[in-house]
Structure 1
Amino acid sequence: MTTAQVIDGKAVAESVREEITRRSKDLLDNHGTRPGLAVVIVGEDPASQVYVRNKQKTAEACGFHSVKHALAAETSESDLLALVQSLNEDKAIHGILVQLPLPGHIDESKVLNLIKPEKDVDGFHPINVGLLTAGERSSALVPCTPAGSLVLIKRALGTDLSGKTAVVVGRSNIVGKPMASLLLQESCTVTIAHSRTKDLPDVVRAADIVVAAVGRPEMVRGDWIKPGATVIDVGINRVPTPEKGEGKSRLVGDVAYEEAAAHAGAITPVPGGVGPMTIAMLMANTVTAARRQLGLPEAEPIF
């Protein structure tokens, strides 16, 4: 039985989008510029198609100049690189996002590293990674999922996270490592745990904040959670539900939700938790990128 506060990512994301829409209108009304976001997708991966459609729809709702480049799966690496370079040079485009994964014949790192750091709204370029890791968050474009997760943590715990113990389960470059960097900059004591961590349940049990981003369905069990802890579930896993009929499935996170909710003080659901925040923070990064490229002062941080 759920006893934890459920952190409503949809509601928080909507409040972020409202603020971004206001900032977008300000750029247009006062500086004659509409924030420009270009999304590039290669191939027909169904999940990627959904993500791109949602990103484009949100960008348009925020008043952005939104451009989508849909390329065939057999598009050559050189053609994709040429497109990215043309977007780098397009002054109407302030943010560039290349949807991952890319087809196997294309070197993802080569493509991502070609994007100008100031237009890298995914926050994956080595320069943005380096700035964040070095504690220069205000100069970086921060990866959207960790940034959104931090907003949700602060909604649950308040803005002062100093002294909290945090465990990030997962060490990916996209979520785990930048999440740890963000929490360190909030003066948390941070552990990055992973599949080879010894006594993983005990490590997690010590945490005031648990961020699960390991990509394994319901791996983090309820009895791993310290009573009253805040649990952020980044995982999105589709698992079969044969009892509902052949081919049926459901979405679950990396946390066993009902079990964990009986121990946690606050928890994000899946779906409806971190997912909406990722897209909202992409919009926030695009407005930040536009302001910087126009030489305008930084707006009040979202997180």
Structure 2
Amino acid sequence: MRKAIPPKVKEILRSEVGFGCPVKGCGNPYLEYHHFDPPVSVRPHNEPRGMIALCAQHHKKADGGAYTIEQLHALKSDRTNAKFVKGNLEWLRRDLLAVVGGIFYYETPRIIVIDGHELVSLKRDDEGYLRLSINMLSINAEERLVVEDNSWENIGSPIDLRCPPQGKELEVKYANGDFLYLKFLELNSSDEASRRYKNDVLKDNDSVKFPITAVEVNMNIGGTNIQLSPESTTFGGGQINGGLMSHCGCGIRLDGTGVIWAQNPKWKLAQRIELIDGTNVIKVKFGK
């Protein structure tokens, strides 16, 4: 049985490629982990020397045989490109401004928390880079997007998924209306922020240090009245907007919604477990 990839192995693989996809011209910081030397169909393993961190798009291509073993080893060992990729991610080292629910949250890593579930957060690693975690909620017993520290852990079956190179946008949409769109942008001054958001709350505010990385959040949970946008929060028939919050324990927090959350049920996730017997991959279904 293939075991989960240990966090330390993921750290090694992310670090060696400069924390972004090593395919030339990509650099996407949201990564998956490809076993290629040997592939898990030959021998299950989590050995860093035979694995590489790739974005979801290039991981899919690697699974389809787009790269040779020699090419993948070359990508792993290209320290010049890794340094270049890392340099292009300097925007992830700047102070963070979350723009969600009509409120500005400065240096507040836990951006959205609903009924104790941390939906969107950006926390810094030991080198000061912001690492994204997502845990989408749903009232449907279906798989939804899970990202842990920039690692894709689960996706499910979205009707649309978009994450261009460089990672400054991430958009996912499901058939029942579950939706999340994150947009990252660099703001060089309070005047630039005021023009973009038509709000002077950041203007000449000495507590906010520019240049800054802003993340704008749009979210909808299908079948509920919970909607978030950079302009407002809609919940319980009302709207909340306005203001600047700094260094808070969390940003948008909704408790006691009364909603029964059903995403990522264990019985459905168990269907994805693979038992590997030699070269044969056997799908095993659990539950009734």
TM-score by length of 2: 0.29
If each structure's strand is expressed as a fraction of its own residues, which one has the higher value? 2
TM-score by length of 1: 0.28
If each structure's helix is expressed as a fraction of its own residues, which one has the higher value? 1
